Amino acid sequence: MARAFVTGWPIGHSRSPLIHKHWLEMHGIEGDYLRHPSKVADFETFIQSFQQEGFLGGNVTLPHKEAACANIEKTDATAKRLGAVNTVWVENDTIIGGNTDGYGFTANLDEFAANWCDESRLKRGALVLGAGGAARAIIDALMQRGFQKITIANRTLPRAIELREMFGKPCCAIAYQDIKDAERNASIIVNTTSVGMAGSEQENETPLSLNGFASDVIVNDIVYTPLITPLLHEAKTRGMHAVDGLGMLLHQAVPGFEKWFGVRPEVTPELRAVLLADLGETS
């Protein structure tokens, strides 16, 4: 039977099986998609020998994305730029690693904020909150789409500076308290921090106030638990365009499924409903 995996530690919370099992069923493919827990000490062996365990490939999640990049024979251009792999597959007996997080991010905005890459919006630039692994994939995607200014704001300024140095122009690094009118003219704000995530210490907080931002700003949170984070709630209250993070999770799964099972699946309202039900969301 055709099988794919998601591996990480811990892995019990992963919602990827729901997505891939839905597509397997939709396409009538006799296959499976399993959670495979790997501790750090076991990961290298697993990622180099998953074929012997009967897998076609799979997804790699925290904390192994960087280790996957270092331990796989071949990586695609995006994974190379990011130094992180989230999807692996086999071509001509060679294991290949790619990174689809940026694809998921852009496809979600293409779906729910079609004008987000208009010329004038690219010129006004983007404000990215946070400087972790997720921010990297998003900054890379924004650069690929041609954003002419990308401001990275982070609680710990040196981490933002590190990313600015990694990506170079058009990025700049800033501390939250130094955000001024120039940054408030951004056409899109993306929250990549865990502030506002259910279960975190800051679950009722926003990373910054949206006061003073342009009324046509697009506000995107990559956190999807809850679906409407405090930041998105504030955006909606102010009449701004809010885009939740669930679509990023759904779209990033598309290229992997296609590589393993040979069919490009679609992100449909039915699939979104399956995930919303699992998250206990009604909207």
- Taking residue 115's Cβ as centre, other Cβ atoms within 10 Å add up to 12
Q: Any contact of residue 133 with ligand ATR (CB under 6 A)?
A: yes
Concerning whether 169 is annotated as a catalytic residue, the answer is no
- Binding residues with ligand ATR: total (CB under 6 A): 16
DSSP 148: S
Nearer to ligand ATR, 31 or 230 (CB): 230
Q: Any contact of residue 204 with ligand ATR (CB under 6 A)?
A: no
- Side-chain-side CA neighbours of 213 within 13 Å: the count stands at 25
| Window of 80-88, 114-122, 194-202, 273-281 that interacts with ligand ATR by CB under 6 A | 194-202
DSSP per-residue letters across 218-281:
EEEES--SSSS-HHHHHHHHTT-EEE-SHHHHHHHTHHHHHHHHSS-----HHHHHHHHHHHT-
| Window of 67-75, 130-138, 210-218, 255-263 that interacts with ligand ATR by CB under 6 A | 130-138
- Chain center to CA of 258: 18
Structure tokens at 201: 């210490």
Among 131, 173, 186, 267, binds ligand ATR (CB under 6 A): 131
Give, for 192, the enclosing helix (H) or strand (E): none
Q: 3-state class of 199 per DSSP?
A: coil
Q: Any contact of residue 58 with ligand ATR (CB under 6 A)?
A: no
Q: Any contact of residue 196 with ligand ATR (CB under 6 A)?
A: no
- List the 218-221 sheet strands across, edge first: 171-174, 150-153, 126-129, 188-191, 218-221, 241-243
The residue from 21, 65, 236, 259 that is catalytic is: 65
In the bound state, the residue with its beta carbon closest to ligand ATR is 132
Q: Any contact of residue 191 with ligand ATR (CB under 6 A)?
A: no
Among 151, 154, 229, 252, binds ligand ATR (CB under 6 A): 154
Among 132, 146, 212, 262, binds ligand ATR (CB under 6 A): 132
Please, what is the minimum distance in Å from the beta carbon of residue 192 to ligand ATR?
5
Q: Any contact of residue 130 with ligand ATR (CB under 6 A)?
A: yes
Q: Any contact of residue 134 with ligand ATR (CB under 6 A)?
A: yes
Please, what is the minimum distance in Å from the beta carbon of residue 236 to ligand ATR?
22
List, in order, residues 6 or more apart from 28 with CB less than 8 Å away: none
Q: Any contact of residue 207 with ligand ATR (CB under 6 A)?
A: yes
In DSSP terms, which residues pair with 188 in a beta bridge? 126, 218
| Window of 138-146, 162-170, 192-200, 225-233 that interacts with ligand ATR by CB under 6 A | 192-200
Among 3, 15, 145, 155, binds ligand ATR (CB under 6 A): 155
Cα–Cα distance measured from residue 192 to residue 175, given in angstroms and rounded to the nearest whole number: 15
Q: Any contact of residue 174 with ligand ATR (CB under 6 A)?
A: no
What's the distance, Cα to Cα, between the start and end of the chain in Å?
36
Nearer to ligand ATR, 29 or 153 (CB): 153
**Residue 220 to residues 203, 232, 242, 250: CA-CA distances in angstroms?**
17, 7, 6, 15
As annotated, the active-site residues are 65
Which residues make up the interface to ligand ATR (CB under 6 A)?
A: 130-135, 154-156, 159, 192-195, 202, 207
